[in-house]
Structure 1
Amino acid sequence: MTIKKALLLSFILFSHICLKAQKVTHSFTLSDSSFMLDGKPFQMISGEMHYPRVPREAWRARMKMAKAMGLNTIGTYVFWNLHEPQKGKFDFSGNNDVAEFVKIAKEEGLWVILRPSPYVCAEWEFGGYPYWLQNERGLVVRSKEEKYLKEYETYIKEVGRQLAPLQVNHGGNILMIQIENEYGSYGGDKDYLKINQRLFKEAGFDGLLYTCDPPEAIANGHLPGLLAAVNGIDNPGRVKKIIRENHGGKGPFYVAEWYPAWFDWWGTAHHTVPAENYTGRLDSVLSAGISINMYMFHGGTTRGFMNGANYDDKHPFEPQISSYDYDAPLDEAGNATHKFMLFRKVIAKHLPVGMTLPPIPAAKPTIAINNIKLNESAGILDILPKPVLNKTPLTFEALNQDYGFVLYHTTVTGGKTGILKLNELRDYAVIMVNGKRVGVLDRRHKQDSIKLTLPVGKVRLDLLVENLGRINFGPYLLKNKKGITESVVFNGKVIYNWAMYSLPFNRVSGIAFKPAKAVNSPVVKKGTFTLSKVADTYLNMEGWGKGVVWVNGHNLGRYWSTGPQQTLYLPAEWLKKGRNDIVVLELLKSDVNSLNGSKTPVLNKLQ
């Protein structure tokens, strides 16, 4: 062997030894009473935070805030509809880079609880399921049905490629992985849960698996042999009793979702819960050695069209708002709240001996951007793509469209007054006659009919239908198609021969704008504003009606004058010095051409 070869071989061996030394694996196991990390008792003080609800550029800053409050762990779902938006096309880039989210948590000294179940609930569109599952004939979510399991397997193996190497037993920081999600509230098929367990293991998740359910559903939802975590209670005695009853008479004891607050939906007052109501309860749970995952520690924002909705036979359709502030310890913009401060004091009492909390990062600066002018516009009827023609109206799903809007167009004979009825409208429709808005229908109020007087002659009838968010919880997961899902009737007669125009608004860069002019129909408006410095801000939409806002191509979410949310959070990370572009889709108040910013949010104003 030459000296050169010998040196090369030595270098290769040395590099291999160094790499092995860097990859320190840990053990994470269960004792009868506690979690064991590297053989020592470990109490998880975790907070839920979802990577798509926070700009990627801000992940690290939010995690520093978690450490400052005393958390040692972060919990997150994995969202199937983000990662496989169309069948067979996967996306783990940009804000979908969940592996990078986990790695940043490790760099910041945080462990991770991973919840990659295909169903997440989470006030998220279709509970995390991709819309296209509904196009698979016979597919039944959350079941042993063959087509569902095939798609589920494909998805979870892709997730496994991204995240299985980051488990604690492989040198990463993922402590535990949850299978399914509150399944006991939906069904009780233990064979289905066993299939979940098998698929997770085949995907590479060979660490500690667990289930979680509320107390009344835990008997249905847990799988013998796995830790049965409980959600939504914090009485120490009750927590321990329920888990023992479902885990062979022993612990450890884990509240997988501890709720110090709640979410909001359109038309209902903003939910807030005083921190003082929860400090004593947090103290008692931690004093009892119980581990918790705070849902939410930081809610963030449900961007774009990804909000879900609640609906059952007793409650109206309730689509959730874009803000996921949740009255959480960390507010929508990532700043510490009064609740954060009080919880931090409680957690500080339970730190290991000799450990102190890092200082709280300063609140982020804010600016108010006033008098933003939108001087260009494009009427919705002027930007229509090529239509799909059909005798009867087609759903979003039949058009292979996920979110946004569909415009249904037809021509009818006028000179009549009668009732126009949209059977099974889902969810919101702007009605236009000869290009002018004449009314709206809103599923929230069980509205499906409007009285119309049509002028004499051939009349253009346009129905702009918005998907307000697919149901994310309960028995109606299987009845989640959008658009006009049955028929349109006028004066008792079915209307046929429709042209359907898909308007998903997944981007607004290709719209041809002209100088703004007065119209009485939905309109897209464009403007610019110039900044000498960037900082967080809020766009106040109180003078507007209903729609969506994009800044520099980023969809900030929906606004709706009905409230309670009246502002849209605009993070500093998406602004730039100099010129910034803003686009607004407005459905109801076409004559508004300017808006103002605010340094603070308005999340509690109903109109």
Structure 2
Amino acid sequence: MKIINRLLSALGGAVLLSAAMPSFAQTKHTFGLGDSTFVLDGKPLQMISGEMHCTRVPREYWRDRMKMAKAMGLNTIGTYVFWNAHEAVKGKYDFSGNNDIAAFVKIAQEEGLWVVMRPSPYVCAEWEFGGYPWWLLKDSTLKVRSTDPRFLQAYTNYINQLAKQLVPLQVTHGGNILMIQIENEYGSYSDDKNYLDINRKIFRNAGFDGVLFTCDGADQMPKGYLPGYLPAVNGLEDPVKLKELINKYHNGKGPYYVAEWYPGWFDDWGKKHANVPAAQAAKTLDNILAAGISINMYMFHGGTTRGFMNGANMNKRDPYSPQVSSYDYDAPLDEAGNATEKYYKFREIIAKHLPAGQVLPQVPAKKPTMAISNIKLDAYADVFNNLPKPTESVKPLCFEDLDQAYGFVLYRAQIKNGGVLKLKELRDYALVYVNGKQVATLDRRLKQDSVALTNISSNATLDIWVENNGRINYGPFLADNRHGITQSVMLNNAEVLSWKMYRLPFNSLSGFTFKRNANTSANHPGLFKGTFTLTQVADTYLDMHAFGKGFVFLNGHNLGKYWQIGPQQTLYVPAGWLKKGRNEVVVFDELKADHQNLSTIDLPILDQNSSTN
């Protein structure tokens, strides 16, 4: 077979689908692009890949999930890299703990898996701001995903730091990273080929000397591909159409690669749980593999979007729609890393396409689960009684101007009369209080930004509690992502001025004073704390049906968000985050009060919606 790219020499190797084959340490390999397939060691390679992200899976479980990937028949892991996880503060880089992307890749190599690396600074991925760090928005004139020199400088600085972690792990340097994606679905955003080529140069200058590629949906490929480099396609399942499309934009040749094939889908708050039938997905997989096409299933294992890292969708037709914390994705491997019906059906299909004599490893046993009943929540902190020192301004400031990334801001002003209160460009969710009493809920999802205030005293305190529900991660409004009260507050068409703003990012719970036997019925945002003792640990799920809207800290870990509207009604607790002995849990709830108990159950509930907004 003719090789159209120079073969990329490397030390290192892989166990290709067979547990009986030797470890690929110290084995020389070559990798390149052929006319119709990828080429490994001069032979066709069909990549059967699955996506998983190191930041969504506790580090102590990376190897377990990769063993599950091998047992299903995967030979490759696809993965994004989230810029905002590695540079949360401008100029300060973190590649430790759950952000240790190099360790993630090395574990894959130890488990006999190749890696397709997708470190484009824009990832989408239902992740806050599509992976861009929030601080890029502090300068309201800076334009992300463009040739703005300020953006390109920040982008280049980050890629140069990332290169120190990943360049040595490329197949060209003896590692297991086969390819690098330089942009992600750019055709759905714009069509500037000069910008795409700048991306290429940034990666090349940083030392990424392996195969580069782009990926786009079928309709967006004309705008999003970079001539001369492999164009992968997302979401296209018809083998004939897929080959025709890639031929058209790659000099009449392959290889043929689906960078994102969707055996499941993500969930939005307030909408129905996504479901792709296992039998249907397995039939599609069989057709694609039978056609010799390489594939990356998005997702193989989604895990959980912890903390405040969920993103949101919005376009010109559909309103703002934030995503849930569970990234179960109806994937072959569920949120807790267990094999599903889809997993076993895919395993059967992949086994049909293995080279003669190759067999799959046994599937590891299902993880044990447990239920914990009646955890007493016996300490309380009213957030309104634990406010930090305010920032004062004539006009309300957005999160970014307050130098705050995520979480909440309480805006406070004095008003003298009632009327229609309007928050111009509220982002994203607000509770309105007058003299400490809640009078309205405003939700960007529902296009709510106004409320009529009545019976207002001559010197009333107006409090507006504003939550960042997740910055947009996909679509035309990506660059318009400042949060909080982003324009003005109007009362009877007159601007409300002279504000105090209290920053509550909830990076930790330090600074809050908890009281026992406190009055918890004020219906202010509050924190409910309890402890419980365990003699053994196992995976479990916090049952949040009785709560309103908020998040949970367990032993210092932010487990993610809950919201009574569903469809997610539980929060996954990995066994590794529990302790034998004393454990501490703190529930933040901004909608409901007087919580006294919390329980866990032994299975997730991800498909129950409530009519309550």
TM range (shorter): over 0.9
Query: 1:517 maps to what in 2?
Result: 519
- 1:197 aligned residue: 200
The one-character-per-residue Cα deviations of 1:106-143 (angstroms, maximum 9, x if unpaired) are 11111101000010000000000011111235321111
**Aligned equivalents of 1:38 and 1:188: distance in 2?**
36
1:134-170 deviation line (CA, Å, top 9, x unaligned)? 1235321111121111111001111111111100111
SS at match of 1:401: coil
For 1:266, the aligned partner's letter is W
- Which amino acid counterpart does residue 305 of structure 2 have in structure 1? T
Deviations 1:427-468 (A, max 9, x none): 001112222322211111111111222443422221110000
Matches within 5 A, 1:82-231: 82-231=85-234
- Return the alpha-carbon distance in structure 1 between the equivalents of residues 556 and 28 of structure 2: 42
In structure 1, which of residues 36, 54, 57 is the aligned counterpart of residue 57 of structure 2? Answer: 54
Asked if the contact 2:239/2:288 (under 8 Å) is kept, the reply is yes
Q: Shift of the alpha carbon at 1:510?
A: 3.6
Deviations 1:456-488 (A, max 9, x none): 342222111000000001110111110001111
> Any conservation in 1 of the 2:305–2:325 contact (CA below 8 Å)?
yes
Q: Deviations over 1:504-531 (max 9, x none)?
A: 1011144221113222211111111111
- 8 Å CA contact 1:25, 1:172 repeated in 2: no
Candidates 542, 547, 569, aligned match of 2:545:
542
Instruction: Give the AA of the match of 1:425.
Output: L
Name 1:444's counterpart in structure 2. 445
Indicate yes or no: 2:609 matched with 1:598.
Answer: no
Write out aligned runs for 1:199-348 (5 A): 199-348=202-351
Say which of 52, 69, 73 aligns to 2:72: 69
Indicate the residue corresponding to 1:427 in structure 2: 428
Does 2:374 correspond to 1:371?
yes
Residue 493 of structure 1: CA displacement?
1.9
Partner amino acid for 1:472? N
Contact 2:529 2:587 in 1 (8 A): yes
Q: State the alpha-carbon separation in 2 of the partners of residues 24 and 329 from structure 1.
A: 31
Q: Distance in 2 between matches of 1:417 and 1:218?
A: 53
Task: For residues 522-554 of structure 1, give each alpha carbon's deviation from its aligned partner in whole angstroms, at most 9, with x where no partner exists.
Answer: 111111111111000000111111111010010
C-alpha deviation, 1:40, in angstroms: 1.6
| 1:473 maps onto 2:474 in alignment | yes
Distance 1:374 1:511 in 2: 16
Distance between the aligned counterparts of 1:52 and 1:22, measured in 2? Answer: 26
**Equivalent position of 1:498 in the other structure:** 499
Q: Is the 8 A contact 1:261 1:271 kept in 2?
A: yes
CA contact (8 A) 1:404 1:466 kept: yes
Are the equivalent residues in 2 in contact too, given 1:425–1:443 (CA < 8 A)? yes
Q: Within 2, Cα distance between the matches of 1:365 and 1:505?
A: 32
Q: Which amino acid aligns with 1:45?
A: I
Task: Pick from 387, 390, 408 the counterpart of residue 387 of structure 1.
Answer: 390
Alignment of 1:401-420 (within 5 A): 401-413=404-416, 416-420=417-421
Q: How much is the aligned-residue C-alpha RMSD, in angstroms? A: 1.2
* Secondary structure of residue in 2 paired with 1:419: strand
Instruction: Give secondary structure in 2 for the equivalent of 1:463.
Output: strand
User: Does 2:559 match 1:556?
Assistant: yes
2:573 to 561, 570, 574: 570
1:298 aligned counterpart, secondary structure:
coil
User: Residues 168-219 of structure 1: CA distance to partner in whole angstroms, max 9, x if unpaired?
Assistant: 1111110100011011111111111111111001111101111111111111
Describe the SS at the equivalent of 1:118. Answer: coil
State the shift of 1:367 in Å: 0.5
Could you say which residue in structure 2 is the equivalent of 1:78? 81
The Cα offsets for residues 311-346 of structure 1, whole Å up to 9 and x where unpaired, read as: 112101100000111100000110000000000000
Is the contact made by 1:67 and 1:358 (CA closer than 8 Å) also made in structure 2? yes
Matching residue of 2:509: 508
Q: Aligned to 2:135, what secondary structure does the other structure show?
A: helix
Q: Give the Cα separation in 2 of the matches to 1:390 and 1:316.
A: 31
Range 73-82 or range 509-518, more displaced? 509-518
SS of the residue aligned with 2:287?
helix
Q: How many residue pairs were aligned? A: 585
Ranges in structure 1 where 5+ consecutive residues have no aligned partner? 1-20
TM-score norm. by structure 1 comes to 0.95
Aligned position for 1:10: none
Distance in 2, matches of 1:354 and 1:136, equals 59
Distance 1:436 1:120, change over 3 A: same
Q: Is the contact between residue 25 and residue 168 of structure 1 (CA under 8 Å) also seen in structure 2? A: no
Letter of the structure 2 residue corresponding to residue 438 of structure 1: V
Q: What letter matches 1:311 in structure 2?
A: M
Q: Cα–Cα, structure 1 residues 456 and 137, in superposed 2: closer, same or farther, change >3 Å? A: closer
Q: Percent identity?
A: 62
Kept in 1, the 8 Å contact 2:124–2:474? The answer is yes
| Contact 2:301–2:331 (Cα < 8 Å) also in 1 | yes
- 1:11 corresponds to: none
Matches within 5 A, 1:575-590: 575-590=578-593
Amino acid at match of 1:136: D
1:345-360 aligned at under 5 Å gives the runs 345-360=348-363
Q: Residues 340-398 of structure 1, C-alpha deviation per residue, up to 9 Å, x if partnerless?
A: 00000000011122111000111100011111111111111122112111000000000
C-alpha deviation, 1:51, in angstroms: 0.8
Q: How far off its partner does 1:492 sit?
A: 2.6
Instruction: Give 4+ residue runs of structure 1 displaced > 6 Å after superposition.
Output: none
CA contact 1:26–1:169 (8 Å) conserved in 2:
no
